[in-house]
Amino acid sequence: MPDAVAAALPAFFVSDLHLSDERPDTVDAFLGFLDGPARDAASLFILGDLFEYWAGDDDLDAPFNRHIGAALRAVADHGVQLFFMTGNRDLLAGEGFARATGARLLEDPSLVAFGSGGAPVLLSHGDALCTDDVAYQAYRHQVRDPAWQRGFLSQPLAARKAFIEGLRQKSEMAKREKALDIMDVNADAVAALLRASGYPMLIHGHTHRPARHEHLVDGRTCVRWVLADWHGAASWLRVDGNGVTAHGATTR
């Protein structure tokens, strides 16, 4: 676990927007969020799957990607600290994306400290915690291998996009055949991560199951917040000196 990243409050957290030009309502909601509520934040954390897919930073000049990148840059230029953690859909976003948007890339998982003396918060996309899905974890291990990524990114952009589109279709088919509990986090994996990180509060996305959970780990109570996905409406978690507040999503 790397040292904690320093950030400021209030902090907003979002994930799983799955932006694409096929989802204009969600795109409009995100642009409205960036132009409105997000500018009240001192820090904005995007915890993966911002895009439906990301084929590589050489696709930054595509009109859709350029539009989203410019909107993120405007928020960073406004003075909001922007942090980005890749998810399973946009794991190929790298330094080029960070430079274009003004974002700081975060490792998964990462600890974040808000001021001196405050308890750090642990952040993750969340897919690494879904250990019951053995097939997915094998896939995740493969595509996050640096050698595999270098080889994939050496292919023409059009070939990469065609490959990713095929994976998306296979993924949707596989989801329909899997039990719902397999695609949720594993309690032992969550406990192990909390234990290794010093029993912090954990915020993650990926599962599309927004909720507040409490875990008893080694006699310590740890809170885990799951971020909501976006379906045409903005949804974020706010952390400030008064605690944690969910906006735009119903926890269950």
175 assigned ligand-binding residue: yes
Residue 166 CB burial class (10 angstroms; 0-12, 13-18, ≥19): exposed
Local structure of residue 112 (DSSP, 8 states):
E
133 assigned ligand-binding residue: yes
| Of residues 181, 182, 219, 187, the one with CA closest to residue 202 | 187
3-state secondary structure of 212: strand
Contact partners, residue 22, CB within 8 Å, separation at least 6: 52
Residue 45 CB burial class (10 angstroms; 0-12, 13-18, ≥19): buried
For helices 134-143 and 146-153, the axis angle rounded to 10 degrees is 70
206 assigned ligand-binding residue: yes
Please give the helix or strand (H or E) that residue 120 lies within, else none: none
213 assigned ligand-binding residue: no
161 assigned ligand-binding residue: no
User: How far are the Cα atoms of 120, 209, 221 from residue 198, in angstroms, in the given order?
Assistant: 9, 25, 12
3-state secondary structure of 82: strand
The residues pairing with 124 across neighbouring beta strands, listed in sequence order, are 204
88 assigned ligand-binding residue: yes
> Which residues contribute to the annotated binding site for substrate?
88-89, 133, 171, 175, 178, 206
Q: Which residues sit in the known binding site for Mn(2+)?
A: 16, 18, 49, 88, 125, 206, 208
Binding-site residues from annotation: 16, 18, 49, 88-89, 125, 133, 171, 175, 178, 206, 208
